[in-house]
Amino acid sequence: MKKNKDYFDLASISTIIILAIFSLIRFPYLPQYIDDYYHLSTAYWFSKIGGWSGWNFWDYAPWGRPQVYPPLYHFLLVFLKKVSLSWLNAVRFAESVIPVFFFFFIWKVLRSFNSSLFSFIFLLTLSSFFSFFSSLSANIPATLALIFGFLSWLFLMKKKPLSASIFLTFSFYTHAGIPWIFIVSLLFLLFIKEEWSLSLRIIALTFLGSFPLLFHQLRYLHFIRFEILREIYFTHLSIFVIISALVSLFFIKRDRRTFLFLGFLFGSLIIFFKYPYRLFSAQGIIGFIFFSSLLLERIFIIIEKKKKIIFISLIFLYFFFFHSTLDYEVTQFKFNFLNSTYINYLRGKPFVLFEFRSLFWPQYYYPIVRAIQSHTKECEIISSNLNLTAQIFSALAERPTSRSILGEVRPKKADYFRFAKIIVWMKSEKLPFFMLKKFNWKKIYENEIAYVFINPAIFYCVNFPKAKISFWIIAFIFFLLIFLLIRDNRDNIKIFKN
């Protein structure tokens, strides 16, 4: 048994090392996804005002919009900037390193209350699902929130409600949706009488710690709008995982592990019901993989000893080389026979997935950024004919913008060009020449992708109000929570001891 344990743990560690190589070699091609530019802009805004504020004048300037996005990731970017990384490299560092941390922590947490076999199968299945692998760096706040959520499970198993609630509170301050999945998983433990008290204490302490942010979000609820995101038009389905997970549900046991997993699955269904991509292709697939791995572990245990090595070899070969998917894009389904993370890297095709491609084109962007910076002050507003490019050049040029992505939170009114000193007009849309006369725009630069105009009549500057909560107070709260964690675990400071 000791030999098997060492074998599967060694295989898991080797897998994590491979995943670390996959993630770190992408550093020069990052940032990966459009949300990164929003996070960069928000971090820059916090840096300018010296802390956190509930209203952000940097996006949708000059009116701004409520800052309801949880701020912990933005604080991390500010910290990385303070330790001498550039803003761009801060994002690259986060996108390269945090996915590696995710695989390590989720494996260690699951390993603390599962067999080495289950933990290895889970890690192999999850990491080989290429769509999920790509989502880790595409949405770093969600990945961080998952790490914190699973660490709360670790302390749940150790029966330490304070530590579990601190990590779950960190999750709330990192992402708006992910922590609720873990709350649902704790609610499912109420089906086990012995777990009532512990689960309710963790939930109560978590809501106590998260109350300031939740109250702030509820205060500006009327600014939040329902939007159909482009994600609804594409989904990648792991046929094997979904079918095996559904089969596994017929063999569930009434124990703490199963109810945690079941709660995570149902929590994902609740949170991501309008986002099929995130449910079946990103964060939500974790719940399905829990049960798929349980089924494979069960089969391994009951088959004959001579067949075990054949069984585990077939599982490894399938997930490492194949992990076939059924891909839905716009209106068409396509069967993708070879779509494992590992085989895509081995074949030199890690960018076959659209969401995995970088939107960073320095040969086109930097000349535009230089044109913006040389014709504007730091407080003057820029704009674009596209929300995406307005956000990109706002982040790269470090200038406020009159429009932004994450349109679910918008001000009551917005005028995209009235207060804009610089307008970047992407050539993907036809330029309405009547606007040149109406606003008296003058062209100052042009390249293959865009025109850059200046409005010489505009002299409007965005104000930089003092932060409501300074970085000194934020740092004090953070170190206080770390102190409480250490104090709560002084009897076992090595939190990952098996």
- Measured between alpha carbons, how far is 263 from 153 in angstroms, rounded to an integer? 12
- Measured between alpha carbons, how far is 426 from 428 in angstroms, rounded to an integer? 5
Encoded tokens for 376: 């504007």
- Measured between alpha carbons, how far is 414 from 100 in angstroms, rounded to an integer? 40
Residues paired with residue 424 on neighbouring β-strands, in sequence order: 384, 452
Residue 421 burial by CB count (10 A; 0-12/13-18/19+): exposed, middle or buried?
buried
Of 28-42, 137-151, 225-239, where does mean pLDDT reach its minimum?
225-239
Based on the structure, what is the number of domains in the chain? 1
Asked if the structure places residue 177 within a domain, the reply is yes
Mean pLDDT of 251-255: 87
pLDDT score recorded for residue 360: 83
- Measured between alpha carbons, how far is 368 from 256 in angstroms, rounded to an integer? 56
The answer to whether residue 497 scores a pLDDT higher than 70 is no
Q: Shortest CA distance to 421 belongs to which of 385, 386, 372?
A: 372
**Could you give the percent of the chain with pLDDT greater than 90?**
77
Encoded tokens for 140: 């770093």
Q: Cβ distance 31 to 103 under 8 Å?
A: no
Asked if the structure places residue 481 within a domain, the reply is no
Residues 6+ apart with CB under 8 A from 161: 155, 198, 201, 202, 205
Residues paired with residue 129 on neighbouring β-strands, in sequence order: 340
Of 84-93, 199-208, 234-243, 327-336, where does mean pLDDT reach its minimum?
327-336
- Measured between alpha carbons, how far is 488 from 243 in angstroms, rounded to an integer? 42
- Measured between alpha carbons, how far is 194 from 282 in angstroms, rounded to an integer? 33
pLDDT score recorded for residue 356: 60
User: pLDDT for 340-391, tens place per residue?
Assistant: 999 998 887 766 655 566 778 899 999 999 999 999 999 999 999 999 999 9
The answer to whether residue 238 scores a pLDDT higher than 60 is yes
Asked if the structure places residue 62 within a domain, the reply is no
The answer to whether residue 413 scores a pLDDT higher than 90 is no
- Measured between alpha carbons, how far is 253 from 259 in angstroms, rounded to an integer? 8
- Measured between alpha carbons, how far is 125 from 19 in angstroms, rounded to an integer? 13
Residues spanned by the domain of 18: 2-30+70-356
The answer to whether residue 266 scores a pLDDT higher than 60 is yes
Q: Cβ distance 264 to 287 under 8 Å?
A: yes
Q: Shortest CA distance to 280 belongs to which of 247, 315, 328?
A: 328
Residues 6+ apart with CB under 8 A from 260: 153, 185, 188, 189
- The dihedral built from the CA positions of residue 473, 479, 483 and 484, taken in this order, carries a sign that is positive
Please state the φ and ψ torsions of residue 225, each to the nearest 5 degrees. -120, 145
Asked if the structure places residue 216 within a domain, the reply is yes
User: pLDDT for 116-156, tens place per residue?
Assistant: 999 999 999 999 999 999 999 989 999 999 999 999 999 99
Asked if the structure places residue 16 within a domain, the reply is yes
pLDDT score recorded for residue 496: 45
Asked if the structure places residue 152 within a domain, the reply is yes
Asked if the structure places residue 87 within a domain, the reply is yes
User: pLDDT for 273-297, tens place per residue?
Assistant: 888 999 999 999 999 999 999 999 9
Q: What is the mean pLDDT of the chain?
A: 92
Residues 6+ apart with CB under 8 A from 211: none
Asked if the structure places residue 477 within a domain, the reply is no
